[in-house]
Amino acid sequence: MKQYSEHNFEQCTKCTVCTVYCPVAAVNPLYPGPKQAGPDGERLRMKSGKFFDESLNLCLNCKRCEVACPSDVRIGDIIQSARIKYSTKKPGLREFTLANTDLVGSVATLVSPVVNATLGLKPVRHIVEGVMNIDHRRIFPKYAFGTFEGWMRKQRKAQAQFAKQIAYFHGCYVNYNNPPLGQAFVKVVNALGYGVQLLENEKCCGVALISNGFIDKAKKQAKSNLASIRKATEAGLKVVATSSTCTFTLRDEYEHLLGIENGDVRENIDLACRFIYNLLCDGNHNLQFNPDAPRIRVAYHSPCHLERLGWTQYSIELLKLIPNVELVKLDSQCCGIAGTYGFKKENYQTSQAIGESLFAAIEASECDFVATDCETCKWQIEMSTTKKVLHPIELLANHLS
């Protein structure tokens, strides 16, 4: 993996390409843009932390600046690192609730019918807004009744029957909100001849902890996850995740933002769509599709962190393999939610303004479903359009014979 120096900002040629592609700068005039917030500001902050500007908290960490940069400047990392180092804003109850996905998820899944019904009520959402500053227009993802991990425990024997094995990093979303996606993943991977195991001790990847300012806890969870990933790696298991953001956090943010070494296992952490596509290309694997599955039109939305990973094409190629799926590729752009960012009252307007043209493109595409590899993009698109959003793996599973 390429090592970056703390003087990486010196590579900036001031070409402003990053600011052109910043979704926040495009809609929120209060944000100074990635060039100024990143490499320009870093030069000053190295002199003194008092040059830190709280407007950097408006960055949604989509990393599109880094994808656009022709000079390999880690603009997004520079901004996020500055927030971690200098921001004096202390996280409150709202940040705690949004960031601690494991804790909140474990409680909510026990009483999910109550939680889902309550959070669905408009008066409750107004109270949540009043108490927590979470925008009342934001619709919460529904919690599942029972976790994915619980379901997997019952599968242990069946999964052990497979000669080849992988470890699945399911993430909080699959565990607490959408176990059927995890089940779809197991179905597809089983069809390819692999059994699925859980990591010894999976914790939330920590992306929400990082963005909400709980750095010590994020580091603790990162170390714990890496310990589990190392064990799996030593046992010869590839670690595969369905969520593009979990994958990105495990592979890149641990080292870049938390300073935790992961170089020894990084190449062993893969994204589901990439893992499966590569298997299908090696000549020894294939999937049997149901030729009678209904013909559907699917619009693919590429999440920001998947763009940053550079692996969008794997999801697209995989979807193209499914007979009876007619694929439309949407222009790559941020949907605006950026994990917990769009939940916050002060960001709601920016969040929806960023996504506006995407929502219009989705409606205009006349698709039956939207497909994407990111759970929070799914929440945003389902809340802001009339379409249902599926993970490419779910579409794959639905079309298997």
Is residue 10 involved in binding another protein (CB under 8 A)? no
Which listed residue (23, 32, 213, 342) binds another protein by CB under 8 A? 32
Burial 168-182 (b: 16+ CB within 10 A, else e): bbbbbbbbbbbbebb
Is residue 391 involved in binding another protein (CB under 8 A)? no
Is residue 163 involved in binding another protein (CB under 8 A)? no
Tell me whether strands 194-198 and 269-271 are parallel, antiparallel or unpaired: unpaired
Residues 167, 380, 85, 18: is their CA dihedral positive or negative?
A: positive
* Stretch 71-110 residues interacting with another protein (CB under 8 A): 71-72
Residue 326 phi, psi dihedral angles, 5° rounding: -100, 120
Quote the least distance from Cβ 26 to another protein, whole Å. 6
Is residue 260 involved in binding another protein (CB under 8 A)? no
Nearest Cα neighbor of 373 from 320, 331, 314 is 314
Which listed residue (305, 308, 344, 391) binds another protein by CB under 8 A? 308
Is residue 149 involved in binding another protein (CB under 8 A)? no
Q: Residue type at 99?
A: A
Quote the least distance from Cβ 354 to another protein, whole Å. 13
Nearer to another protein, 71 or 155 (CB): 71
Site track 38-57 with another protein (rule: CB under 8 A), x = hit: --x-----------------
Quote the least distance from Cβ 331 to another protein, whole Å. 8
Nearer to another protein, 69 or 390 (CB): 69
Tell me whether strands 325-329 and 388-390 are parallel, antiparallel or unpaired: unpaired
CA 311, 332, 328 angle in degrees (round to 5)? 90
Quote the least distance from Cβ 226 to another protein, whole Å. 19
Nearer to another protein, 34 or 195 (CB): 34
How many Å apart are CA 216 and CA 390, to the nearest integer? 34
Nearer to another protein, 110 or 364 (CB): 364
- Residue 242's Cβ-count burial label (10 Å; 0-12, 13-18, 19+) is buried
Which listed residue (329, 353, 361, 400) binds another protein by CB under 8 A? 329
Stretch of 160-168, 214-222, 240-248, 310-318 lying at the interface with another protein (CB under 8 A) = 310-318
Contact 73, 11 (CB under 8 A): yes
Nearest Cα neighbor of 315 from 388, 253, 244, 245 is 244
CA distances (Å), origin 244, targets 225, 323, 346: 16, 24, 26
Nearer to another protein, 83 or 251 (CB): 251
Give the chain's radius of gyration (CA, Å): 21
Tell me whether strands 325-329 and 369-371 are parallel, antiparallel or unpaired: unpaired
Is residue 66 involved in binding another protein (CB under 8 A)? yes
Nearer to another protein, 120 or 310 (CB): 310
Stretch of 17-25, 103-111, 228-236, 360-368 lying at the interface with another protein (CB under 8 A) = 17-25
Is residue 67 involved in binding another protein (CB under 8 A)? yes
- Token readout for 267 is 């190449």
Which listed residue (106, 190, 224, 313) binds another protein by CB under 8 A? 313
The site for another protein (CB under 8 A) is made up of: 2, 13, 15-17, 19-21, 25-26, 29-30, 32-33, 35-36, 40, 66-72, 267, 281, 307-311, 313, 317, 329, 332, 357
